[in-house]
Each structure stands twice: as C-alpha cells, then as structure tokens.
Structure 1
Amino acid sequence: MDDDDYWNTSETKQKAFSFDDDVLSPQEILAISQKPYSGQTEDTPFSSTIVNSSKRNLIPLNSLISPKVLDLIVLAQSGKDLKEKIPVQLDTTTATLKRLILGRSCFIHIHRSLKRKTELLDGALAIGDGNAILAVVLFLIQTLNKKLVHELLSSRTVALNHYISYLQSERKITELTDLLTMLGRSPEAAMYQYQHIVKTQGNSVDGLQRKLNNLLSNNFNQPGIDSHSTKMLSDYIKLLEWQTCANKTELNNRSALDCLAYTCRSHWHEGAGKTMSPLTLCQRQQITPLQYDWVVLNVHANSGKWDVVESLFTTKDWLGRTIASFHIPIEALLSKLSELQAPKYLMTNFINKIQNSDKRLKLAHKYKIHSVVIESHMKQKDRSALTNYKMTLSPQSEEYILAENTLRDPSIKWRN
C-alpha cells in the first residue's frame, strides 16, 4: 500500500483525532507539532533519547493529526496563498470572534461584505470583550471609507469610546480630532488638541503661546464651543505672556498660583500696576480672593512673617475698629495655622473674632487656647464646666491660676 492509500483508508480515518471543531491557524498547528504532547515521557517517539526501534512501537502520525490539519500543515510549508484553502468552519463570524477573544490569529479579512463586517462588530459588542471590539474597529478602519466607519460607530457608543481611547493612548490626535469633528463633537476635538499641545510642547513658552493662539483662533471661536473653555484658554495665553515678560526660567509653564507664590516671596511690596506685583497678577489672571489669601498665608507663614499673616485677615471698619476678614473658612484657616505652628497669640486673636460663642468655645477647646475657653465659660457663668476644665490644666501653670482666680471672682454670679 502506498502512502496516499494509507492516509485515505477508513481505518486510518477512524483512528485520527478530529480537530475540525478547534479553530487553529496553520502557524499554530506547526508550532504544536514541534512540541511534546502532555504527559510525554522519555519512551515516546518524540523523545530525544535514542532507543531501539525494534523494541518500541511507533505511534502513527495519522492517529494524532487529522487529514484536514495535515493538509493545512503542508499548505503552510508550501508558501501558497492560504486564503484559497481556508476551511469552511473558519469562515464564520462566531469562529472569528472566538479566535479574537482567545488572542489567536484569525482570517478576519475573509469578512468582505458590509453586512458581514457589521455582524462582526455587533457580535464583539454583544460579547463585551474590549480587545475584540477594538480589533474589529481597526479592521473596519482599514477596509471601509471614513464616512461609513463613522456612521457605524456613531450608533455604537461603546465601540466609539474604545476607538477614542485607543487614539488617545497612541497620541493620534489628527485622527481623533477628525473623528470627533465628523461626529459633530467639535468642542471635544478642540479640548483634545489643547491637551496634546500642552503635554508635548515642552518648556518653550514662545512656541506654546504661538500654537495656543492658533488653536484659539481656528478652533475655540467656532459655534458650539462653550464660553468657559474659551475663557480658560484665553487666560492661559495671558499667563504665558506674563511669564515671557517676567523672563524667569523657573516660572515657565507654571500655574497662575505658582506664579502668585513667586511674586509674594520676591515682589510683595510692589504696588498694583507693576508687572510683578501680586495684585497685578491677581487682576490679570482673575485669581479669586480665597485663592489669594491661601497662597499668601502659606508663603508668609512658611517664612515666619506672622505680622503679614495677621494683617491679611484683619481690616478696619468705618469706626476704626479692627475686625476679622476671612475669605478662607475659619476652620480651615485655624487648621492650617496650627499645622504651620503659628504663635499662640495669633491663634487667640483669630478665635476671639468668631462671633458665634458655641463655635468659638469648640475651636478654643480643639486648639487648646485656654484663655479663650476660660473666658467663654465665665461669660456663660458655667462654674461647673470651668471647674472641670481647670482639672485638665497643669497645676500652678498660668492657665490654671487664671481659671482658679476666675472661679474665686466674687463679681461673677454663677448659674450653677
């Protein structure tokens, strides 16, 4: 019996395992054929150990691989066009999606009609596998015109979002902005361009300023762009112009608040109207009073200039009295002052300016401003509370003596 007759006998076919249901590419089959099968020992025909063939029974190749798979191996080794010999079971949407999900190579290009491609996309979306969805979308990009692809994606939000994320991660900004513009999402396209320019321009303030001016003129003045985004970009360009005038390398591409901190440290006494004045920068960049107070507090507190900090949060009323002026919530202000180890007198002054008595007492307890606690209990005529508080103080300390003298004061009419 010659070789061809042997492979085609019914007995041989019955012995052969069927791989028809397992969708494998010829390349994978070749790789598998070169590896030992699971459980292989030294006595197998694939062992590298030299054995006496007369004492061993060799396993026929046809009992391991079906004729169809052998045909694929021969075809792969011959270098011929595999598309001409693709098995029928590989030519289905289900088989292609299965291989995409498993990360195997597949014949995705056999899906040539628009109907087949749409079925492939909808199948990937139904399964919900992100890699399969992206693979199909990229296949559509390669084989369909842009307008048709955008029409398909516009009605399939999940697929569209996967593709947008891919373009972002790959920094394909031109393709991304074209896609969003065609879908009527020009504001998003403009913002992506803005982010890309800022991230990739580097430290060249002049180059960044020039590109952003072009972006403002060409993209941010179009219908549909909200005024807040346009204002944000305009303010940033103004900041770059200010940085150019300042001519300080350490300020290049820094935020408005970073620049404000620099002017507070180095140009605190310059009056409004001068370029490097903190007040001028605040006006130019529309920095809010809350932001201004927070930056000034941190800059001067870290430098130990507590007189500046105190003057920042106090002002004179029309009668000439000193009153508190807090843009920062008092709880946040006291917390920051405590963190920065502000002098006790400053904490006392600020707590004493709190109008609400219960709030004042609570914060005085929290930051151990004993004089304020003692005075608050005295004003409430709460002898019991003051007595209990005195017991928490160090004996013969200044605060202990103050509490004791207050309790002995005959002019106070205690209510308990």
Structure 2
Amino acid sequence: MDDDDDYWNTSETKAKAFNFDDDVLSTQEILAIGQKSYSPSGPSEESLFNNISITTVQSAAIPLSSLVSSKVLDLILLAQSGKDPSKETKYEPEQTVAMTLKRLTLGRSCSLHVHRSMKSKTELLDGALAIGDGNAVLTVVLFLIQTLNKKLVYELLSSRPVALNHYIAFLQNEGKISELADLLTMLGRSPEAAMYQYQHTVKTQGNNVDVLLRKLTNLLANHFNQPGVDQHQAKMISDYIKLLEWQKHVNKPDLKYNSVIQWLAYNCTHHWHEGAGNAMSPLTLCQRHQITPLQYDWVVLNVHAKSGKWDIVESLFTKKDWFGRTTISSNIPIETLLSRLSQLQASKQLLATCVNKVANSDDRLRLAHMYKIHAVVIETLAKQKDRSALTNYKMTLNPQSEEYILAENTLRDNSIKWKN
C-alpha cells in the first residue's frame, strides 16, 4: 500500500472525510461546512493555495457563492438555527381573499379551496358582489355549493339577491330544474318553483302530447294544488291540460302548438257555420275553454273583416231597436271598436252607427270629427243649436257634396232655435 492509500485509510482522515454516498447532509456535516466557511481561525489564504500558482487566483477574498451553492447555504443557516432540516417544509405565502378575487376577475387560475373558514368564504362572496363581476360571483357560489351544507348556502343567497339571481339563471341554463325547485322551495318560493317546472316540462316534452299530458297532470296535483300557490296559475295549467286533451281529440298535428285564441280564429275561419254541439264549433270551443265574450267579439271581428265578410260582422255587431233604428251591440269598448273598424276599412255607415252609440254629445262630436263622419257632426251641432260652428264646418266640406247640402239645409231649418 503506497503513501496515498495510507493517507485515506488513517482514522483521522476518515473522521474528516464526507460520505458522498448519502444524498442528504447530516446536521453535523452542515455545521462543519459552516465552521470552515466562516471560522476566522481557519487556514490562511497562503496555506489554502500553497500548491496553486498565485497568479491564477486574485489575492482578494473569494465569493462564498463560488465555493458553496445557495441551497447548501440555506441548509447551513437552517442547521445553525437548531431546527431539523428533514422536518422543515417550505410554505407558500398565504393566499388572501383579495388575491383570490383579483385572480378571478383577471381570469387567472386560482384555488378557492385554500379558503376553508366560513368567514373567508363569506368574504369571497361579498367581495365578488362588490366588484360586480358576474362570472366571479357565480364561481364563488358554485364553490360554496361544493364545500358547504346547501341549507347554509341558501341562507347566504337569500340575503344576497344578486348572487341568488346568478345562481338561478345558471340552474335554468343548465337545465337543473330539480335543484332549482329545491332552492326556491327552501327559500319559501314554491309558486316560482312550480312555474319553472311547468316551463321546463312544456319545453322538453312539447313534441309528445301523451307524455306532456301525464307530466302536467302530475305537476298540477303535486305542486299547483297546494296551499299558497297562485290560483290563477293553477287555473292556467288546468286550462292548458284541457286544451291539450281537446287538441288530441280533434287530431290536427299541424296546429298542436296553437293557443286557445288561435284555435278560435281557425274555427271561425273554417267551421263558422257548425252547430254548438260540434267539437270544432267556435261556440263549443268558447264554452269548453271559458273564452270571454270580449275575446270572442275581438276574434270574430278581425277574422271576418280581414276576409271581407262584412255581412257577418254587421249581423253580429248591429241590432235593430223597437223603433227600427240600428244600434251597436258589442263587448268591445266603443272607442276601441271604432279604431279597429277604421283600420279594417269598414263602411262609413257602420262607423256612423258606432259613433251615434256614444251618449255624450261632446265625445260623439270629437269622434265624428276624428273619423270624418260628416252626417254625425252636422246632426250633433244642430242638436247643440250651434249655428256658428255648423257654418264654419260647412266651409270645410266640398261644395255640392251630399254633406255640404245637408249642412246647408240644416242651417235653413227654421224649426231649430239657434243659440248664436
């Protein structure tokens, strides 16, 4: 064994040598490095480099980083502090609510699960609401749904209507109607929950009348016939079920999406002369589906006037009194009726009959002027004994026209005691 082998096998050398087979330095080894690196009584620079040409190294102090890596330096400082390096964990800076909200609004990835406390989660929701970012609000709400009891989340949402509306819209768009119904029911809004279920059922089952009828019947029994539900809504669902049953009976698939009023218009057009006992008779439809007299009159007027059947319109809306005078009989308010008749280009005679039905002379005169019913204007001014107004009105008429001659003859009537 030569001198070199003797050197490495001596007990003193073994004690000082590092074990390069280990991946992790022991605390003693780390401290030893620190003592050698920082000991003021260590070997001199001259002895350190006694076998190296001094011209190859600057005589100034050598940077510590060139001898020891930053990782080792961290371990040295940790060891000198007395802590066990194997038990130390490097923690990231705590992610605050403000940091999370900033990343959410900027569209950056972030983990909401670092916020575990109820206080932190509530601050997240209120912070998103204060910012006014809908996407952030919905993201936080969905996080709360995942990590909290639903009842607790619903209580939070009930006092934050903006967040609640975002969540309701989300459930609607995703078609999660059961969850939406549970939410609204827990918030004491059962009628709304029932209506959302009704809308969803019609939307998803509209192509199958049998399935739609079955589901709506169950919905009516289980949700709309409960205490507190709006009776108008319950009646609406009941009427719709009746309409579906009637549509199924008449078996006209091309018209299955029609409303009751659209069906009435169809029946008036194609089945006007059928008797009340017939399923397609307009009168039967009215009785079965509680169509009001006003609705009936309006549909009949528009259907027959547009098709030019004015004889039907006049037979329905004009009557003869005991003196043989023609009067109007309609459930439509007179001014609304006049306006619609004018739009449909009714005859002047029919318009005049309607205007004459107006009891108040001032209103009658105003409407007669509006629709240019000259005979009614002349007759009304004569009844008011207003010679001056009638004279002025005559000047607006075409000379030698029938209305002009009527106005002139009225002014010459000596039986009228004119007031001016």
Query: Shared fold by TM > 0.5?
Result: yes
Counterpart residue type for residue 168 of structure 2: I
* Distance (Å, rounded) in 2 between the aligned partners of 1:206 and 1:251: 16
1:304 and 2:308 aligned: yes
- The SS at the match of 1:232 is helix
Counterpart of 2:411? 407
Q: CA deviation at 1:227?
A: 1.8
1:88 and 2:96 aligned: no
Comparing 308-317 with 372-381, greater Cα deviation is found at: 308-317
Counterpart of 2:387? 383
Taking a change above 3 Å as real, the CA distance of residues 263 and 391 of structure 1, as seen in their structure-2 partners, is same
* Distance (Å, rounded) in 1 between the aligned partners of 2:418 and 2:274: 54
Q: Which runs of 5+ in 1 are unaligned?
A: 1-83
* Distance (Å, rounded) in 1 between the aligned partners of 2:398 and 2:208: 61
Q: CA deviation at 1:321?
A: 6.6
Match of 1:233 among 224, 234, 237: 237
1:195 and 2:199 aligned: yes
Counterpart of 2:399? 395
1:208 and 2:240 aligned: no
CA contact (8 A) 1:263 1:277 kept: yes
Quote the RMSD (CA, aligned, Å).
2.3
CA contact (8 A) 1:203 1:253 kept: no
1:242 and 2:246 aligned: yes
CA contact (8 A) 1:150 1:183 kept: yes
Q: CA deviation at 1:252?
A: 0.5
Comparing 122-131 with 210-219, greater Cα deviation is found at: 122-131
CA contact (8 A) 2:326 2:353 kept: no
Q: CA deviation at 1:322?
A: 5.1
Counterpart of 2:367? 363
- The SS at the match of 1:263 is helix
CA contact (8 A) 1:205 1:253 kept: no
* Distance (Å, rounded) in 1 between the aligned partners of 2:410 and 2:223: 71
* Distance (Å, rounded) in 2 between the aligned partners of 1:259 and 1:85: 75
Counterpart residue type for residue 88 of structure 1: P
Q: CA deviation at 1:266?
A: 1.4
Q: CA deviation at 1:319?
A: 8.3
Match of 1:181 among 181, 185, 192: 185
* Distance (Å, rounded) in 1 between the aligned partners of 2:90 and 2:148: 25
Taking a change above 3 Å as real, the CA distance of residues 147 and 105 of structure 1, as seen in their structure-2 partners, is same
CA contact (8 A) 1:240 1:253 kept: no
- The SS at the match of 1:88 is coil
* Distance (Å, rounded) in 1 between the aligned partners of 2:411 and 2:319: 35
Taking a change above 3 Å as real, the CA distance of residues 347 and 174 of structure 1, as seen in their structure-2 partners, is same
Taking a change above 3 Å as real, the CA distance of residues 339 and 253 of structure 1, as seen in their structure-2 partners, is same
Residues 58-69 of structure 1 mapped to structure 2, 5 A cutoff: none
CA contact (8 A) 2:154 2:187 kept: yes
Counterpart residue type for residue 295 of structure 2: Q
Residues 210-225 of structure 1 mapped to structure 2, 5 A cutoff: 210-225=214-229
- The SS at the match of 1:399 is helix
Counterpart of 1:343? 347
Counting matched residue pairs gives 333
Comparing 112-121 with 224-233, greater Cα deviation is found at: 112-121
Identity of aligned residues (%): 74
* Distance (Å, rounded) in 2 between the aligned partners of 1:227 and 1:317: 42
Q: CA deviation at 1:250?
A: 3.3
Counterpart residue type for residue 388 of structure 1: N
Taking a change above 3 Å as real, the CA distance of residues 202 and 412 of structure 1, as seen in their structure-2 partners, is same
Counterpart of 1:271? 275
* Distance (Å, rounded) in 2 between the aligned partners of 1:243 and 1:372: 48
* Distance (Å, rounded) in 2 between the aligned partners of 1:289 and 1:411: 44
Counterpart residue type for residue 401 of structure 1: I
* Distance (Å, rounded) in 2 between the aligned partners of 1:123 and 1:280: 60
Q: Which runs of 5+ in 2 are unaligned?
A: 1-88
Q: Which structure's CA Rg is the greater one?
A: 2
Q: CA deviation at 1:210?
A: 2.1
Counterpart residue type for residue 279 of structure 2: T
- The SS at the match of 1:219 is helix
Counterpart residue type for residue 376 of structure 1: T
Q: Tell me the TM-score normalized by structure 2.
A: 0.74
Counterpart residue type for residue 221 of structure 1: N
Residues 246-325 of structure 1 mapped to structure 2, 5 A cutoff: 246-315=250-319, 323-325=327-329
Counterpart of 2:135? 131
* Distance (Å, rounded) in 1 between the aligned partners of 2:127 and 2:176: 27
* Distance (Å, rounded) in 2 between the aligned partners of 1:233 and 1:344: 44
Q: Give deviations 1:381-402, integer Å, cap 9, x for gaps.
A: 2111111111111122221122
* Distance (Å, rounded) in 1 between the aligned partners of 2:385 and 2:159: 73
CA contact (8 A) 2:327 2:354 kept: no
1:118 and 2:122 aligned: yes
- The SS at the match of 2:224 is coil
Q: CA deviation at 1:290?
A: 1.1
